[in-house]
Structure 1
Amino acid sequence: MGRRRQAVTIKHVAADAGVSLQTVSRVINDGAGVRPEMKLRVQEAIDRLHYVPSIAAQRMSGSRSYLILALNDRDRTIADWRSREGVDWVDQMLLGGMTTAAEYGYRLVLELVDTHNDHVERELRATIAALQPDGVILTPPHSENPLITSMLAAQEISFARIGSKQPGPGISLTMDEENAAAIATQHLIDLGHRRIGFIAGPAEYSLSGWRVEGWHGAMLAAGLAIDGLLAEGDFSYASGERAAAVLLSLDHRPTAIIASNDQMALATLELAKNRGLRIPEQLSLISFDNTPIVRFVQPPLTAIDQPIADIAAKAVELIVAHQRRSELPATTVIIPATLVVRGSTVPPHLP
């Protein structure tokens, strides 16, 4: 049996660079008081020896934990996982967050918190006490929960609020939901549609209202009526069925529908087919999310692609920069969404 290779330690780096252990530690932890040429010498030794700093050692050497905590809604996340219907919001968040955190020597940890729990603040305090994160990423609806944001601000923890434009502490990031909905609506208007229905998400999410505003604004700018064309859902498949049934039962039904997430869009697609409508000739359809499943239905759905990975990556980047004493952005950081056009949108069918 071969001998086990000896692990490279901070002592090896210090000896190779010809500096003290304290100097190596300050370079690793981005400490002050190290000359640029000294930083370069230590970094070259780290690269040469393939030294990987131990997070445990880093935590012991200073006040940082090198952990970033991402919070997501417990009930909705677990429901999505159990349904196994291709929902990849959390996957994309972890993709962007974990890979970017690793680039900076951090680790991203995901925790699920019950938004409707009366003890949400106590639950979160316990989590923070156990993990002692350097930063926190809040996703909707946590990103606009004043109990959470005020607690993090009081504890002077750097945090990012994804999907929030509210003034207040923390780093605000969005994909500009209003503009994304306007882009989707304008695409249909440009195709010649005049009766465009919209299925909204739950009111507890501010982004639901922003999307409605984007649709409404684009319709108004084009001189188009919206009477009876707004239906409400809650992001579930069943709510999408109910909302689509309302819209498709109108005497003057829409020739196109925008649904605020993929599940409601898929429900609309199925209901329309069951009613004998040809998609997209008799009903064009656009979704939000662009999760994998919408590419494999017939026809593949045109969808707003949410840049979740990019938003999470930017959130990590800004949290780390704040840890290194950079100023927080003064305004909301926008990572724009894009429209992916597929086979579910065509000019309206003329009888």
Structure 2
Amino acid sequence: MAVTIRQVARHAGVSVATVSYVLNNDPRVSPETRERVLASIRELDYHPNSWAQGLARRQADIVGLLMPAPRHADPFLLELISGVMDVTAEHHVGLLLLHPGNNADDLPRELLRRRLGGVVVLESQALDPRVEWLQKRSIPFVLFGRCHQPVDYWIDVDNAAGVRMAVEHLVGLGHRRIGFISAPLKYMFAQFRMAGYREALDLHDLPFDPALVHAGDLSEESGYTAAAALLGQPEPPTAIMAASDIMATGALRAIKERGLRVPDDVALVGFDGTPLSAYTDPPLTTVRQPVYDIGRKVAELLLKVVANPETGSHGELIQPTLLVRGSSAARGAE
């Protein structure tokens, strides 16, 4: 991995800003400090890139939002983008939406050509190639989510706690066979949600049954397919927890097509708390994450980091809430 400006600063015992001053021949640096920084640069074999040097000389007027692979009419993403966009507009900073999401080899040339001030990265993977790509180029970024790589700036929702809360709600209503429609497990948030499902079962001494877990791809159709498979079993679940509201909407359609009633025959819970969830029939019980507020938070943190590279590390875990509505009830439980 390429040496970063932060590593040079730590090695020389100075701030990131001081290293930047040396790279730009700023007269504010004393000869002694300048020599110490240059020695560290030589020893660590640091090669600054023109993008980072250009950013050091100016305030960014545009930032990027590194999107996941496009999903049709996803209300979660639309609400998140709205939060990011409102903050950038308030600060008179442009926002560039960047696709595709998770393949570092395909990161758009626009990211470097426009010399963006920084990037918000969505839907992290456990070992995320985009994170490595950005770190190698010393490009400021904020991660919405978490990954196994060390990241200085991230904001995430406690996904495990959210699913745990929802499953415990269903257990409290008397349900014992609870199906789970998972998001793709390549994403960290999906892994945390799966962990929350299993933790809730363990807390109530309920066995984990792999037959009760089906993976979706965050689309409504995948929720429909997964729910149909769950309900087609000899011992179908009396409740289903879906890892997104969109997949829960598909599950709701599958339940009704089988002539079953929600919540009388099958209880249903989603995740996200998007506006869509309040208008299903019946209204969807869901784990709400404050999506718009999260969009604002990641944007505000990114602009803070861009304005001051010496901003200390920041990791924030936001607690979700459970919105209990008409799609969950005790009736029909075993």
1:324 pairs with one of 302, 308, 317: 308
SS in 2 for 1:138: strand
Mapped to 1, the partners of 2:312 and 2:331 lie a distance apart of: 47
Residue identity in the other structure for 2:96:
V
1:111 pairs with one of 84, 90, 98: 98
Stretches of structure 1 that go unaligned for 5 or more consecutive residues are: 1-32, 34-58, 82-86
Cα displacement (A) at 1:282: 1.1
Aligned pair 1:217/2:209, yes or no? no
1:188 pairs with one of 170, 188, 192: 170
Does structure 1 retain, via aligned residues, the 8 Å contact 2:159–2:189?
yes
Alignment of 1:142-181 (within 5 A): 146-181=128-163
Does structure 2 retain, via aligned residues, the 8 Å contact 1:318–1:328?
no
Stretches of structure 2 that go unaligned for 5 or more consecutive residues are: 1-27, 29-53
Mapped to 1, the partners of 2:147 and 2:278 lie a distance apart of: 31
SS in 1 for 2:99: strand
SS in 1 for 2:67: strand
Kindly tell me: are residues 174 and 350 of structure 1, through their superposed partners in 2, closer, same or farther at Cα, counting changes over 3 Å?
A: closer
Alignment of 1:90-109 (within 5 A): 90-109=77-96
User: Based on CA coordinates, which of the two structures has the bigger radius of gyration?
Assistant: 1
Alignment of 1:120-139 (within 5 A): 120-121=106-107, 123=108, 126-139=109-122
1:72 is aligned to 67
SS in 2 for 1:113: coil
Residue identity in the other structure for 1:262:
D
Identity %: 29
Aligned pair 1:237/2:220, yes or no? yes
Aligned pair 1:206/2:188, yes or no? yes
- Normalised by the length of structure 2, the TM-score is 0.76
Aligned pair 1:270/2:265, yes or no? no
Cα displacement (A) at 1:182: 0.6
Does structure 2 retain, via aligned residues, the 8 Å contact 1:175–1:306?
yes
Per-residue CA distance 1:157-206 (angstroms, 9 max, x = gap): 21011122423234122111111111111111122222111111112212
SS in 1 for 2:332: coil
Q: Superposition RMSD on alpha carbons, in Å?
A: 2.5
Cα displacement (A) at 1:326: 4.4
Kindly tell me: are residues 144 and 100 of structure 1, through their superposed partners in 2, closer, same or farther at Cα, counting changes over 3 Å?
A: farther
Cα displacement (A) at 1:310: 1.9
Residue identity in the other structure for 2:106:
V
Aligned length: 280
Mapped to 1, the partners of 2:177 and 2:276 lie a distance apart of: 27
SS in 1 for 2:281: coil
